């Protein structure tokens, strides 16, 4: 296999633990393992990448200083009052502050010589728009192949509606890109039908060899279960489940890992020690903790277009998965899980498709 120069551009990379940072970082590491020359761009903070670069044979570079960025890859939020005010004013109408990335990407691509494969990672989609802008202006200097990885659709996003005029940026990028990569088959419906022939399905990927799980699971003294992820009001909403749990004369422990606990406030005192709320922890540490649970909770998105990547993590732990519809609980199934009957659990098929080795193999096929 001929070695390629591969440039990956993402808003966030390691040590950030969100799905897009994981996507970019896992791809970069596996491409490097195969001997490719890999350059990984992200909005960096104060994290020292010297050891990371040496251990993984990856060049890490900073997307040029952003005036309005509010969060870096090291997880540090900007406390600048002006920035926050501007975000509040222009977030929807201008896709602010991520729109700034659109104007940084062309200079990044121009500064890298002889790129065989460019991979842009969204969210935010403004990274794709920037690559499309440069290609339309300087097609002769553009990389030989461009793949746009999209964790979620943009205009077709069921969670967040965008102003109509952004469809012109989306269609422009879709015309310019060689292939659009989405994580699930259902996501194809989130894109304009005229570009469906450009879409390939490649799921999120992880290095299975680096995962350490609890090999000696023992049933907990009381039903102990966990949820990890973001909450969305009326979509991925925990309140109906929590109300039902409160109504049960049962001792249990519900452990939650999230960075947006706003919907949990009214339940903290009511549930007391039955609910434990934690911020996100490093993914490999999280997987070990999840593997000690009796079962894991998935709050369904209510759409086939978007699927939470946490289901892959859940499946890797080997623990049963209770999948809950936020707008209509299956109370019988919940009762079964609380009694230790997991026969109605969600099954994630073909776990090997999420092995980073297989995922990168599919990316390289798209790049041929």
- Total tally of structural domains belonging to the chain: 2
> 327 and 276 share a domain?
yes
Q: Which of these, 70, 71, 45, 75, lies nearest to 60 by C-alpha position?
A: 45
Based on the domain organization, do 232 and 191 belong to the same domain?
no
Single out the residue in 175, 201, 227 at which a domain terminates.
201
Pair 25, 90 in one domain = yes
Q: Is residue 355 part of a domain?
A: no
pLDDT tens digit string along 95-128? 888 899 999 999 999 999 899 999 999 989 999 9
| Cross-strand bridge partners of residue 187 | none
pLDDT in tens, 2-27: 899 999 999 999 998 888 999 999 99
pLDDT score of 1: 62
Domain final residue pick, 169, 201, 233: 201
Q: Is the pLDDT of residue 39 over 80?
A: yes
Domain co-membership, 189 together with 221: no
Q: Band of the pLDDT at 147, cuts 50, 70, 90?
A: very high
Task: List the CATH number of the domain containing 216.
Answer: 3.40.50.2000
Residue 80 included in any domain: yes
For the entire predicted model, the pTM comes to 0.83
Q: Is 368 inside any structural domain?
A: no
Q: What is the pLDDT of residue 306?
A: 52
Structural domain contains residue 104: yes
Domain-embedded: residue 196: yes
Q: Which domain holds residue 115?
A: 5-201
Q: Could you tell me if residue 364 is inside a domain?
A: no
Q: Is residue 223 located within the same domain as residue 186? A: no
If you average pLDDT over residues 54-59, what whole number do you get? Answer: 97
User: Does 153 lie in the same domain as 91?
Assistant: yes
Q: pLDDT tens digit string along 264-293?
A: 999 999 999 999 999 988 888 999 999 999
**Residue 216 within any structural domain of the chain:** yes
pLDDT value at 307 more than 70: no
Comparing 24-38, 76-90, 127-141, the range with the smallest average pLDDT is 76-90
Q: Give first-to-last CA distance, the chain, whole Å.
A: 11
Mean pLDDT of 77-86: 71
Tell me: do 237 and 254 sit in the same domain: yes
User: Has residue 362 been placed in a domain?
Assistant: no
- Please report which confidence band the pLDDT of residue 213 belongs to, taking 50, 70 and 90 as the band edges: confident
Same domain for 39 and 138, yes or no, is yes
Q: Are residues 25 and 164 in the same domain?
A: yes
Name the domain boundary from 136, 169, 201. Answer: 201
What is the spatial distance between Cα 353 and Cα 357, in angstroms, rounded to a whole number?
9
For the CA atoms of 279, 282, 284, 288, the dihedral, rounded to the nearest 10 degrees, stands at -30
| Same-domain status, 16 and 69 | yes
Segment 217-239, tens digit of pLDDT: 999 999 999 999 888 887 789 99
Q: Which residues contact 359 (CB under 8 A, 6 or more apart)?
A: 26, 27, 30, 202, 203, 204, 205, 353
- Asked if 192 and 213 sit in the same domain, the reply is no
Do 152 and 245 belong together in one domain?
A: no
Q: Which of helix, strand or coil describes residue 232? A: coil
């Amino acid at each position: 296999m001929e070695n390629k120069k591969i440039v990956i551009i993402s808003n966030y990379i390691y040590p950030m633990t969100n799905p897009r940072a994981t996507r970019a970082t896992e791809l970069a590491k596996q491409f490097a393992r195969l001997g490719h020359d890999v350059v990984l761009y992200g909005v960096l903070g104060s994290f020292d990448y010297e050891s990371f670069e040496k251990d993984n044979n990856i060049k890490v570079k900073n997307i040029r200083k952003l005036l309005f960025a509010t969060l870096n890859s090291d997880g540090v939020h900007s406390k600048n009052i002006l920035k926050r005010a501007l975000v509040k004013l222009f977030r929807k109408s201008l896709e602010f502050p991520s729109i700034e990335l659109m104007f940084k990407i062309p200079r990044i691509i121009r500064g890298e010589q002889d790129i065989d494969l460019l991979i842009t990672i969204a969210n935010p989609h403004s990274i794709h728009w920037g690559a499309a802008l440069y290609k339309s202006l300087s097609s002769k200097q553009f990389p030989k192949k461009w793949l746009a990885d999209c964790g979620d659709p943009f205009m077709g996003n069921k969670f967040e509606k965008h102003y109509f005029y952004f469809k012109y940026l989306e269609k422009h990028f879709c015309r310019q890109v060689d292939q659009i990569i989405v994580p699930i088959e259902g996501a194809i419906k989130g894109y304009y039908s005229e570009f469906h022939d450009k879409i390939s399905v490649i799921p999120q990927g992880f290095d299975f060899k680096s995962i350490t799980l609890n090999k000696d699971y023992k049933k907990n003294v009381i039903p102990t279960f966990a949820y990890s992820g973001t909450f969305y009001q009326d979509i991925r909403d925990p309140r109906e489940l929590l109300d039902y749990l409160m109504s049960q004369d049962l001792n249990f422990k519900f452990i939650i890992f999230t960075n947006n606990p706003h919907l949990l406030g009214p339940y903290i005192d009511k549930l007391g020690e039955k609910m434990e709320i934690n911020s996100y922890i490093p993914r490999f540490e999280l997987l070990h903790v999840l593997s000690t649970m009796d079962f894991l909770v998935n709050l369904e998105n209510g759409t086939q277009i978007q699927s939470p990547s946490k289901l892959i993590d859940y499946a890797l732990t080997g623990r049963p998965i209770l999948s809950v519809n936020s707008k209509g609980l299956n109370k019988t199934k919940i009762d079964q899980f609380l009694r230790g009957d997991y026969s109605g659990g969600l099954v994630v098929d073909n776990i090997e498709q999420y092995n980073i080795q297989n995922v990168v193999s599919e990316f390289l096929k798209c790049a041929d």
